[in-house]
Amino acid sequence: MSPQPLCPLCSLPAEVSSIGSPDETLRVSCIRCGKFQAKWRIKRDNLPDGWAPYLSAATRQATDEKKDLGTITCDNWRQIATPHQERTVSAKIAMILEFYAKKCAVPGRGFSIAPAHDYPLFDCVDEAEYNQYLRYLVDRKLLEQNGNALHPTIEGFQEVEPRVRAGGEPDRCFVAMWFDDDLDQAWERGIEPAVRDCGFKPYR
């Protein structure tokens, strides 16, 4: 019996099949890295030190978002991984909080993930990094833990909700333009109806 194939990016047991000319391109389905297609040279050991987790983040997030990355090659892997490698700590923390806010939808519902398999969702390099951010969010009382399940607190939800209405009225659209008769037509036929169509009350 042939040994259980391993994911080329994270070395967990995975479903791996080859397509095209023998072993040229691998099609991988990994519980951690998601589903992706890569040239056989794209392997953890062949990538520069520390980069494989960011490629895992790219493939896993693309899988969950149903986005097709195409085939990962020696020419494009860095471009695919870079946005994940460049993600700041603050941005990762925000991603985690937004993730739970989306999954829980309303305060009080919990959602649990498997950190050992799911840390690439937040551009983390390993489970330990994810746990650090989690602890921070719980300490700051933005997330609450209940067994394995987590949910944002009210403060957590407020943190991710878009900051609206810094003064002003919610449904008004203020249009600043020249007071000139020549522009009346543009206002009456163009801007005014267009703003109204978008559901706002236009004010010139």
Residue 10 interacts with Zn ion (CB under 5 A): yes or no: yes
Query: Which CB, 30 or 137, lies closer to Zn ion?
Result: 30
Angle at 33 between CA 73 and CA 108, to 5 degrees: 145
Q: CA-CA distance, 116 to 30, in Å (whole number)? A: 13
Helix 127-139 crosses helix 89-104 at what angle (to 10 degrees)?
70
Contact segment (CB under 5 A) with Zn ion among 27-35, 79-87, 108-116, 137-145 equals 27-35
Q: CA-CA distance, 198 to 15, in Å (whole number)? A: 48
Q: Which of 15, 17, 33, 36 binds Zn ion (CB under 5 A)?
A: 33
Q: Which residue has the tokens 């992706």?
A: 36
Number of residues that bind Zn ion (CB under 5 A): 6
Q: Give me the amino acid identity at 25.
A: T
Q: Which residue has the tokens 């969702």?
A: 121
Q: Which of 26, 32, 57, 63 binds Zn ion (CB under 5 A)?
A: 32
Per the CB < 8 A criterion, the answer to whether 144 and 133 are in contact is no
Query: Which CB, 10 or 143, lies closer to Zn ion?
Result: 10
CB of 42 to Zn ion, least distance (A): 12
Q: Which of 1, 3, 9, 121 binds Zn ion (CB under 5 A)?
A: 9
CB of 12 to Zn ion, least distance (A): 5
As a residue count, the chain comes to 204
Residue 52 interacts with Zn ion (CB under 5 A): yes or no: no
Residue 55 interacts with Zn ion (CB under 5 A): yes or no: no
Q: Which residue has the tokens 């937040």?
A: 122
CB of 133 to Zn ion, least distance (A): 21
Would you tell me which residues interact with Zn ion (CB under 5 A)? 7, 9-10, 30, 32-33
